[in-house]
Amino acid sequence: MPRVLITGVTGQDGSYLAEMLIGKGYEVYGLIRRTSLVIDDRIRHLLDDVRLIDADLLDQLSLIKAVQTARPDEVYNLAAMSFVPTSFVQPVLTGEYTALGVAKMLEAVRLADWPIRFYQASSSEMFGKVHEIPQRETTPYHPRSPYGVAKVYGHWITVNYRESYKMYACCGILFNHESPRRGLEFVTRKISHAVARIKLGLQKELRLGNLDAKRDWGFAGDYVEAMWLMLQQAEPDDFVISTDETHSVGEFVRLAFECAGISNWQDYVRVDPNLLRPADVDILIGDSTKARTKLGWKPRVTFPELVEMMVKSDLDAEARGNTRAAIQATVR
């Protein structure tokens, strides 16, 4: 039975990845950090099958112990401070988690006396103020936030360990991917959640920032499959994972309201200047030809299907209760 260690197992991607790997017969270990409230909503349905290990990206020794306990064949390093606006408020902490946390995990893996394949969660945010359209593996990086800058470090330190120590280490440069399990602070889930509440008369308006920003949005469940495929190849490499389509935040809003049967969406949406970022990423659109050719990967869920899935899930859950229920509804 292959063994896997997932950092960030309590997050959106970690929950889908754990679910998929359990289905493939893996023995799954996941890192969890101590909090005063239990935050295992996304993996509660998996708790019989996931062994949780206490550790934190800030604590090198805890990461070494986690690797030694799990004795994994594969490590997926998904843990990070992943919310871009917070990275402007806490740039140093973001660097500790999202940049140096990667070096700490790589060191923990390097100390192991058995071979481990390593996946690093790189991001399309590294392209930032884009140098070409669409963005591919060779597009230069120009990050626009402390988060993006930290991800560039995480990316290059992973490449460096591959080249220096002959580690099987891959970076997945993933474009935005969403799901009913997305955190409520990210724009897609903020929209689907608000639309559901407006439809049910529980909320009056939806405040948003930049409606013109364009993103290449896919479904998280499809993207974790690409992560796994990267670690099953003969040689380690880096891959862009994207749908190769782009849509604006405004388009997402319109479609989400339409899914709930509301056509006059402008009556509910307010642009709030406080939600604009010091610097934003205007347009992201990937070119995933390399992944499609070499990994045989392609996304299954289309953009309209994704919006509908998220709105329906929030409508179901909000009709039954509250937000925690909303997250749990999606894992049943």
**Residues near ligand NDP, by CB under 6 A:** 7-8, 10-14, 31, 33, 39, 56-58, 78-82, 97, 121, 123, 174, 176-177, 183
Closest to ligand GDR by CB, 7 vs 82, is 82
| 248 classed as catalytic | no
Backbone angles phi, psi at 154, to 5 degrees: -60, -40
The answer to whether the CB of 253 falls within 8 A of the CB of 193 is: no
How far, in Å, CA of 61 to CA of 54, rounded?
Answer: 11
| 223 classed as catalytic | no
Least distance to ligand NDP from the beta carbon of 62, Å? Answer: 9
| Active-site pick, 15, 123, 124, 179 | 123
Angle (CA) 2 71 291, round 5° = 50
Q: Which of 10, 15, 77, 82 binds ligand GDR (CB under 6 A)?
A: 82
Tell me the residue nearest to ligand NDP as measured from the CB. Answer: 11
Backbone angles phi, psi at 181, to 5 degrees: -95, 5
Furthest CA-CA distance within the chain: 61
- Nearest Cα neighbor of 5 from 31, 40, 25 is 31
Q: Which of 5, 53, 150, 208 binds ligand GDR (CB under 6 A)?
A: 208
Least distance to ligand NDP from the beta carbon of 20, Å? Answer: 14
Q: Any contact of residue 222 with ligand GDR (CB under 6 A)?
A: no
How far, in Å, CA of 195 to CA of 214, rounded?
Answer: 20
Other Cβ atoms closer than 10 A to 111 = 11
Q: Any contact of residue 313 with ligand GDR (CB under 6 A)?
A: no
The answer to whether the CB of 258 falls within 8 A of the CB of 193 is: no
The answer to whether the CB of 317 falls within 8 A of the CB of 329 is: yes
239-241/74-77 β-pairing: unpaired
| Active-site pick, 27, 74, 125, 308 | 125
Closest to ligand NDP by CB, 11 vs 95, is 11
Query: Binding string, 103-132, against ligand GDR, x = CB under 6 A?
Result: --------------------xxx-------
Least distance to ligand GDR from the beta carbon of 174, Å? Answer: 7
Least distance to ligand NDP from the beta carbon of 262, Å? Answer: 26
Least distance to ligand GDR from the beta carbon of 159, Å? Answer: 18
- CA dihedral for 220, 172, 283, 93, sign (positive or negative): positive
| 123 classed as catalytic | yes
- Give the residues lining the site for ligand GDR (CB under 6 A): 82, 84, 123-125, 175-176, 185-188, 190, 208-210, 213, 215, 249, 275, 277, 280-281
Residues catalogued as catalytic: 123, 125, 147
